[in-house]
Structure 1
């Protein structure tokens, strides 16, 4: 049984990451999944939702709002879930399309009077910059918000902070990711965000693409997306943490949308000069068997637990995954 003191968690967004988040929370004792919202509705149950039922409902009817009896159909699903639930912390597993979306959602939480912990897995530097402008308002509202808490930014950014300690000066941080998914439709929003990074595309253009247009584009590339010099928030996070200027941070990778096997191993390389004057590189590589969902949702909930600990000490405002160590969720 989950204890009464388990952290009550809500998930905003119920696509691939939101569904994986629900499954990851199921065996946890310290957290319980009680709420979720998608575009057309929300579901809430203070004793916990069943992920199998929720995911089946979402696939069969297009919204978690149809979940019986816990669901409610609504065009204002996020706002109504906030108002009609008792949730300690939320994982914002939302597509950041358009690029202002996450900041807009944060403003909704501020305006609602809700107090608790928010965690996101944002990717873009400019999106994190928008959240930084909300720092005073988040603090005043009693909200502890941790941003960039996925795999990259997130797990790999935090690893870079630790690896940097061996050096007197950091010359370069290079993050390279490999993602393999059997079917792009399970991660539609994530794939659109990746396409937005490609030459000739931007956030607006990617958001406007129909599923058929995405499918046709992936046919042209044999399902492979090769991404270089991405606008990734690892750069601003490492700069804010005092590790190195953002122009020394490079992020890129390969996404295979038709094969669950990773096209290459995800890793971060931190190159620097030691106090003895030696140039060296630390490499931290993720196991190929760990999925994108495991490497994004796992850290997100570790940071959510860390955020709860900060909040319990009266510490509010905006933090990044490069500033705070995540805690393991049992």
Structure 2
């Protein structure tokens, strides 16, 4: 791939802004488009990331960026029609749980052809995309799902580590996330709250920012998550590595401190061909942020998706089925 890959980012909250910063120094990819709830921006020669972030922070939308921004209540649909983009990173909140599948249908119906990458969390959300697999293939779309940190980076590590074993007994993913201010990642925190006992997607979505702040005051800003509905399970099952009931995901999120409350890791336990039981552990460096571990792999999978797309390979793929390609 010698030519520059033109990239769009849908959603410009904390994750979308981080994605734009990850792309800024890249030579193989250029951010040319972005959209949020209130508007979009497209510039074929590349966006001024800092101007986009400033406009979103001060005025609530990239649509305010002069002279290329456009305010619109149908920002995603209009951007799809007006922008020439090779692939989109979907930094969108999956609230409601059907939202990402709805966005995928929007792309299918638009006639657009290219690569889509998401960082979906929930198993049920990925199951909805699986129902669209044939439609995506027929539309000429290469869709890479579950390509963040978990699911994503850690799922792929588990898929590789599993090769040492003849049988996989358990895959255990434990994550630690530290952020200085929950408001920088509102959608992500809402999705995490939805996993807590007594909550669900609809209840978390209906909470006001003030209600979330009061809830976080009660927990000292700490969210402890266990046995989450995380798509690592279905992704490893689809890859033929183990049944989903052998995969567990949980972790701790500190919404008031950038330091991770614990080290993020995946442990893969299995039996070797000699009959020995062993565990591989892959641990992420504590200095790497959630944004780095989500956006970096996301664009690595986008590059891999572009490679597949240019070879005429369309449809739905997961982070456990395709190796990401490093973006220089």
- Name the TM-score class by shorter chain: over 0.9
Tell me the secondary structure at the aligned position of residue 43 of structure 1.
strand
Partners of 2:203 and 2:36 in 1: how far apart?
Answer: 22
Matched, 1:313 2:311: yes
User: What 5-or-longer segments of structure 1 have no aligned partner?
Assistant: none
Mark the CA change 1:120 to 1:281 in structure 2 (over 3 Å): closer, same or farther: same
Match of residue 284 from structure 1: 282
Structure 1 residues 311 and 209: alpha-carbon distance in aligned structure 2, compared to 1, 3 A threshold: same
Q: Does 1:19 align with 2:17?
A: yes
Shift of the alpha carbon at 1:4?
8.9
Q: Could you tell me how far apart the structure 2 residues matched to 1:262 and 1:33 are? A: 29
Query: 95, 98, 113: which one pairs with 1:97?
Result: 95
Correspondent of 2:241 among 243, 251, 261: 243
Aligned equivalent of 1:109? 107
Following superposition, which runs of at least 4 residues in structure 1 exceed 2 angstroms of deviation?
none
| 1:38 counterpart = 2:16 | no
1:161 aligns with 2:159: yes
* SS of the residue 1:236 aligns to: helix
Instruction: Please give the residue correspondences for 1:130-209 in structure 2 after superposition, counting only pairs within 5 Å.
Output: 130-209=128-207
CA distance in 2, matches of 1:213, 1:71: 33
Q: TM-score, with normalisation over the residues of structure 2?
A: 0.99
Task: Select 2:213's aligned residue among 212, 215, 227.
Answer: 215
Q: TM-score, normalised by structure 1?
A: 0.99
Match of 1:273 in 2: 271
C-alpha deviations, 1:212-247, integer Å up to 9, x for none?
000000000000000000000000000000000000
CA distance in 1, matches of 2:277, 2:254: 34
Partner SS for 1:282: strand
SS of the aligned residue for 1:119 comes to strand
Note the alpha carbon deviations across 1:195-219, whole angstroms, 9 max, x for none. Answer: 0000000000000000000000000
Shift of residue 5, structure 1, vs aligned partner: 2.2
SS of 2:172's partner is strand
Counterpart secondary structure, 1:179: strand
Taking the aligned partners of 1:72 and 1:312, their CA distance within structure 2 comes to 31
RMSD: 0.9
User: Where does structure 2 lack aligned partners over 5 or more consecutive residues?
Assistant: none
